[in-house]
């Protein structure tokens, strides 16, 4: 045992785990052992002994959350410990509904929106458009608005680096857009139609960089300098990088000839299913694995190749995800192969937080320091004191965890809705003419009181998968330049893909694209457990326990070990090349549409349509999951649609 401890300490030294970096500001005990999600229960009578000092049980230890960077989002990266306390207390029944009736309502609004992500902000925009003289309140449980559309910021040797916490990437042509909602809101928010990016000096190898993180995983990888890491463990060959595998039809990619031919048949398939209701319903009756292996007749290795890509875009792998959602996400065999021009795919410095900031600036003009222009909205600090200022037509209240939404009487005759939320260890109640639930389905089914049976059954069919987004700040990336690739994919270990994102320049924010200068790598880590015969729900629960049950230090070790394995041979030094790590853990990042999500077996509406099309009295539902794929423009449109459904009550 002593020898093992000595070996572990030596490895920690080599990995740089004992070196002071920008990571442990929030760690009281950085070297503690494995943490775990706690499910200790307190009696409701104890919680309600004093309504102005309610203490909820901790769910995680002090060694869980980790460093948050600098800037306005430093206290809100991923699900916070406070959000875990509140959400799990609601789930476990610690906040007894029988006590809520005794809390007096302190405010009245024409509309309350539960959730300050892009769906909630889209709902607020529609409200102000229709009812400019009425009052609206947005309740957001995180310390900052945006939902998963928030940023991480590092300060590396005086260089400010911004990266996405989650929601990221948009496709935008000056005269066209594949998603009509995107174009609608881009125009409404006055987003520019041209952007400036940093360029690599002395780019002697003509390296090509993506401007975002998603299309380079599959759809646009032929146009990017991309490499696949192969080794004995995953491919049965000596460790090496294989570059640009599609340019020579996979001749250098170490798989059997049968698998090679099937991968090519998958990627370059010409016979696409028709785009009509009957065909879409048929696709929604099977998994994408069924489609690849039984309809296309391809090898299961093709499915395994597609698994992490589909999980990165939709939360789970091919064995449980509907073939129709795979079509909506543009997966091969269902959508024609047409490499996406990397110049048409964009990412703001902090991902889709750029859209969230523009929405909030439109709704509350003094919410962000500076003028009403792209540079100031993107770079200005948030005036938190102005978000919830009395007199604003729209008010946005952060760190407010809604625990109950109930009609004042029978849903058919009620003239109002009461919304109870938890903030600063106190329960507060608000009265509103109507409510839009722009929060996730995993919490809606717990907090909407007397939810109709049909809605409950539909929500019980929703499955939500976790996602970990890890941003790693580097002091330099010379080791990547040496490899001659800018995007990287591998099997096994931490994550499966990352890339150097070409940095967007906005005003004074102009980070360099220089191998000798700092940059960030973003890892999107999914938790699918494919080919084990597990349901989507089982896979998600296992993934959530895994993600929530590890300490910050455990993940830091995994990241460093993975990077040494991939890049150690090209000069990567974990002690000196890593400047900071921020973890963004999202317990319910994606809804994972299984067969029947869109179309029921008997020809009726799928379970998403039941929630979407049927408001419950004065309560409507407008959240991104209802589309099946979670994208910023459609999310805002779902919120807008939910406001329209309440026109008779506002």
Q: Residue 301: inside a domain, yes or no?
A: no
Q: Are strands 435-437 and 240-243 parallel, antiparallel or unpaired?
A: unpaired
Q: What pLDDT, on a 0 to 100 scale, did the predictor assign at position 338?
A: 62
Residue holding tokens 């990241």?
Answer: 559
Domain that holds residue 126: 95-144+382-463+594-644
Residue holding tokens 């809100």?
Answer: 76
Q: Residue 556: inside a domain, yes or no?
A: no
304 contact partners, CB below 8 Å, separation of at least 6:
530, 531
Residue holding tokens 């999980």?
Answer: 311
Domain count along the chain: 1
Strand locations in 65-217, DSSP E?
Answer: 105-109, 111-114, 136-139, 151-156, 159-164, 170-171, 196-197
**Which residue has better confidence, 40 or 519?**
519
Q: Are strands 394-397 and 136-139 parallel, antiparallel or unpaired?
A: parallel
Over the stretch 46-60, which tens digit does the pLDDT of each residue have?
A: 444 456 677 777 888
CA dihedral 154, 575, 516, 159 (to 10 degrees): 20
Over the stretch 348-388, which tens digit does the pLDDT of each residue have?
A: 999 999 999 999 999 999 999 999 999 999 999 999 999 99
Q: Structure tokens of 47?
A: 């919680």
Averaged pLDDT, 161-166: 96
**Whether pLDDT at 155 is above 90:** yes
Averaged pLDDT, 481-501: 94
Q: Would you say 167 and 634 are in contact if contact means Cβ atoms under 8 Å apart?
A: no
**CA dist., res. 615 & res. 642, Å (int):** 8
pLDDT-above-70 percentage for the chain: 90
**Which residue has better confidence, 93 or 357?**
357
Q: Structure tokens of 142?
A: 């995180």
Radius of gyration of the chain (CA): 24
**CA dist., res. 20 & res. 575, Å (int):** 10
| 552 band by pLDDT with thresholds 50, 70 and 90 | very high
Q: Residue 542: inside a domain, yes or no?
A: no
Averaged pLDDT, 232-255: 95
Q: What pLDDT, on a 0 to 100 scale, did the predictor assign at position 271?
A: 87
**Which residue has better confidence, 411 or 249?**
249
Angle at the Cα of 294 (from 630 to 541), degrees rounded to 5? 40
**Distance between start and end Cα atoms, the chain:** 68
Q: Structure tokens of 136?
A: 């609206």
How many CB atoms neighbour CB 204 within 10 A?
7
Question: Comparing C-alpha atoms, which of 149, 191, 170, 143 is closest to residue 382?
Answer: 143
Q: Residue 484: inside a domain, yes or no?
A: no
How many CB atoms neighbour CB 276 within 10 A?
9
Angle at the Cα of 240 (from 502 to 561), degrees rounded to 5? 70
CATH number at residue 121: 3.50.50.60
Q: Which three-class secondary structure state does DSSP give residue 468?
A: strand
Averaged pLDDT, 622-645: 94
Taken in order 438, 440, 445, 447, the sign of the CA dihedral is: negative
What does the DSSP assignment read for 15-79?
A: HTTTS--BT-TT-SSTT------------HHHHTSSTTS--PPP-S-TTSS----SSTTTT-SSS
Over the stretch 405-454, which tens digit does the pLDDT of each residue have?
A: 999 998 888 999 999 999 998 999 999 999 999 999 999 999 999 999 99
391: left (phi over 0), alpha (psi -120 to 50) or beta: left
Q: Structure tokens of 320?
A: 């449980």
Q: Structure tokens of 75?
A: 């206290």
Averaged pLDDT, 524-539: 94
Distance, C-alpha 8 to centroid of its chain: 34
Q: Residue 315: inside a domain, yes or no?
A: no
Question: Comparing C-alpha atoms, which of 161, 147, 139 is closest to residue 632?
Answer: 147
Question: Comparing C-alpha atoms, which of 22, 31, 313 is closest to residue 152?
Answer: 22
Q: Would you say 377 and 121 are in contact if contact means Cβ atoms under 8 Å apart?
A: no
Q: Residue 390: inside a domain, yes or no?
A: yes
Q: What pLDDT, on a 0 to 100 scale, did the predictor assign at position 571?
A: 96
Burial (CB count <10 Å: 0-12, 13-18, 19+), residue 227: buried
**Which residue has better confidence, 6 or 66?**
66
| 340 band by pLDDT with thresholds 50, 70 and 90 | low
Mean pLDDT of the chain: 90
Q: Residue 574: inside a domain, yes or no?
A: no
Strand locations in 555-596, DSSP E?
Answer: 578-591
**CA dist., res. 184 & res. 188, Å (int):** 6
Q: Residue 650: inside a domain, yes or no?
A: no
Over the stretch 181-226, which tens digit does the pLDDT of each residue have?
A: 888 999 999 999 889 999 999 999 999 999 998 878 887 888 899 9
Over the stretch 94-147, which tens digit does the pLDDT of each residue have?
A: 776 657 888 989 899 999 999 999 999 999 999 999 999 999 999 999 999 999
Q: What pLDDT, on a 0 to 100 scale, did the predictor assign at position 530?
A: 93
């Amino acid at each position: 045992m002593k020898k093992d401890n000595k070996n572990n300490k030596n490895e920690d030294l080599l990995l740089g785990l004992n070196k002071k970096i920008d990571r442990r500001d929030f760690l009281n005990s950085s070297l503690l052992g494995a943490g775990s999600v706690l499910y200790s229960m307190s009696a409701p009578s104890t919680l309600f002994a004093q309504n102005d000092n309610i203490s909820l049980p901790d769910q995680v230890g002090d060694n869980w959350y980790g460093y948050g960077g600098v800037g306005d989002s430093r206290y809100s990266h991923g699900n916070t410990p406070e959000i875990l306390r509140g959400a799990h207390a609601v789930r476990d029944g610690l906040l007894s509904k029988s006590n809520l009736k005794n809390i007096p309502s302190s405010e009245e609004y024409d509309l309350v929106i539960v959730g300050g992500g892009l769906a909630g902000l889209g709902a607020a925009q529609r409200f102000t458009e229709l009812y400019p003289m009425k009052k609206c309140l947005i309740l957001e449980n995180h310390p900052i608005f945006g939902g998963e559309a928030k940023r991480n910021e590092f300060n590396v040797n005086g260089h400010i680096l911004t990266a996405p916490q989650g929601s990221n990437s948009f496709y935008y042509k000056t005269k066209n857009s594949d998603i009509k909602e995107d174009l609608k809101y881009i125009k409404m928010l006055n987003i520019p139609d041209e952007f400036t990016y940093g360029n690599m000096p002395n780019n002697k190898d003509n390296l090509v960089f993506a401007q975002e993180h998603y299309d380079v995983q599959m759809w646009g990888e032929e146009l990017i300098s991309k490499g696949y890491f192969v080794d004995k463990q995953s491919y049965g060959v000596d460790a090496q990088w294989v570059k640009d595998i599609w340019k020579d039809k996979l001749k250098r990619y170490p798989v059997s000839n049968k698998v090679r031919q099937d991968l090519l048949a998958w990627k370059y398939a010409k016979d696409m299913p028709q785009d009509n209701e009957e065909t879409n319903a048929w696709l929604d009756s099977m998994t994408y694995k069924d489609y690849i292996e039984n309809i296309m007749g391809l090898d299961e290795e093709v499915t395994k190749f597609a698994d992490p890509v589909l999980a990165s875009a939709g939360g789970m792998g091919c064995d449980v995800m509907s073939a129709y959602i795979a079509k909506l996400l543009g997966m091969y065999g269902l959508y024609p192969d047409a490499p996406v021009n990397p110049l048409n795919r964009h990412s703001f410095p902090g991902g889709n937080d750029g859209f969230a900031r523009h929405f909030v600036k439109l709704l509350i003009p003094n919410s962000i320091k500076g003028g009403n222009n792209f540079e100031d909205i993107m770079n200005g600090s948030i005036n938190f004191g102005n978000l919830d200022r009395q007199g604003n037509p729209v008010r946005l209240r952060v760190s407010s965890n809604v625990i109950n939404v109930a009609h004042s009487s029978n849903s058919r005759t009620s003239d109002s809705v009461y919304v109870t939320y938890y903030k600063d260890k106190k329960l507060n109640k608000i009265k509103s003419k109507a409510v839009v639930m722009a929060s996730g389905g995993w919490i809606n089914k717990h907090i909407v009181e007397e939810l109709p049976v049909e809605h409950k059954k539909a929500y019980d069919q929703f499955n939500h998968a976790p996602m970990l987004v890890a941003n790693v700040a580097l002091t330099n990336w010379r080791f990547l330049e040496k490899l001659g690739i800018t995007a990287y994919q591998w099997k096994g270990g931490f994550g499966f893909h990352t890339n150097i994102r070409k940095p967007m320049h906005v005003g004074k924010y102009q980070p360099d694209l220089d191998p000798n200068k700092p940059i960030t790598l973003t890892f999107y880590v999914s938790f699918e457990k494919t080919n084990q015969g597990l349901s989507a729900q089982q896979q998600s629960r296992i993934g959530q326990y895994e993600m929530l049950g590890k300490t910050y230090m455990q993940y830091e070790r995994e990241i460093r070990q993975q990077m040494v394995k991939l890049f150690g041979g090209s000069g990567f030094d974990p002690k000196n090349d890593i400047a900071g790590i921020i973890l963004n853990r999202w317990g319910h990042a994606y809804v994972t549409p299984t067969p029947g999500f869109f179309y029921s077996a008997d020809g009726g509406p799928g379970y998403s349509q039941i929630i979407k099309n049927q408001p419950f009295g004065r309560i409507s539902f407008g959240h991104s999951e209802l589309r099946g794929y979670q994208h910023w423009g459609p999310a805002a449109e779902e919120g807008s649609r939910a406001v329209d459904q309440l026109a008779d009550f506002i």
